[in-house]
């Protein structure tokens, strides 16, 4: 399983999905659900997602632990963005994709964040949670009881 995960990692999936969203907007002529100025509401989740990813990255650096799937985490972080989401980086990526879909305003663009969330939920989250459970069994079980997977 790890070899498969190493081939295509979440940031690659995220950036690919962002690009797919742009391409879909231009090649599939579907009526827009949201027109200007209502589509600008997409700025809120988009900016929130960017902020959340930066905040999460800062905590990972501050506590000197890894985000890489093939590395052993040095500690379990439960503060900052990790206090309300066990996977704040994925939450941020999902928010960015959802914000992008709102900005485009077309129905087809809402497929992309749904596919991203489904893929991350089924492929990466279980692997990461097993890893944390292996290295921090007692602490991770307590954390898991108190903090939701997404939010």
pLDDT per position as a tens digit, 36-45: 889 899 999 9
pLDDT > 80? residue 7: no
Residue 25 CB partners (closer than 8 Å, separation 6+): 104, 106, 108, 109
Cα separation, 32 vs 108, in Å, equals 9
- What is the reported pLDDT for 36? 85
- What is the reported pLDDT for 77? 92
- What is the reported pLDDT for 26? 87
pLDDT > 80? residue 140: yes
Per the confidence metrics, is the pTM higher than 0.85? Answer: yes
- What is the reported pLDDT for 72? 81
Please tell me what DSSP assigns to residue 120.
I
- What is the reported pLDDT for 50? 98
- What is the reported pLDDT for 6? 53
pLDDT bracket for residue 8 (50, 70, 90): confident
Look over the chain and give the mean of its residue pLDDT values, rounded to a whole number.
90
Question: pLDDT per residue over 60-119, tens digit each?
Answer: 999 988 777 777 888 899 999 999 999 999 999 999 999 999 999 888 899 999 999 999
pLDDT > 60? residue 5: no
Cα separation, 132 vs 151, in Å, equals 18
CB 63 within 8 A of CB 82: no
Rounded alpha-carbon distances, angstroms, from residue 54 to 47, 61, 99: 11, 11, 16
Cα separation, 134 vs 2, in Å, equals 15
Question: pLDDT per residue over 11-26, tens digit each?
Answer: 999 999 999 999 988 8
């Amino acid at each position: 399983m790890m070899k498969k995960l190493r081939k295509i990692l979440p940031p690659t999936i995220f950036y690919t999905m962002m690009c797919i969203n742009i391409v879909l907007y231009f090649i599939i002529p579907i009526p827009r659900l949201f027109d200007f100025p209502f589509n600008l509401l997409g700025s809120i989740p988009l900016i929130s997602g960017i902020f959340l990813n930066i905040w999460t990255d800062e905590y990972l650096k501050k506590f000197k632990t890894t985000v890489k799937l093939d590395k052993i985490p040095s500690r379990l972080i439960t503060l900052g963005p990790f206090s309300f989401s066990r996977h704040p980086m994925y939450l941020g990526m999902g928010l960015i994709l959802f914000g992008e879909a709102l900005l485009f305003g077309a129905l087809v663009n809402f497929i992309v964040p749904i596919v991203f969330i489904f893929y991350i939920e089924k492929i990466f989250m279980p692997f990461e949670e097993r890893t944390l459970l292996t290295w921090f069994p007692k602490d991770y079980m307590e954390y898991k009881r108190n903090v939701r997977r997404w939010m």
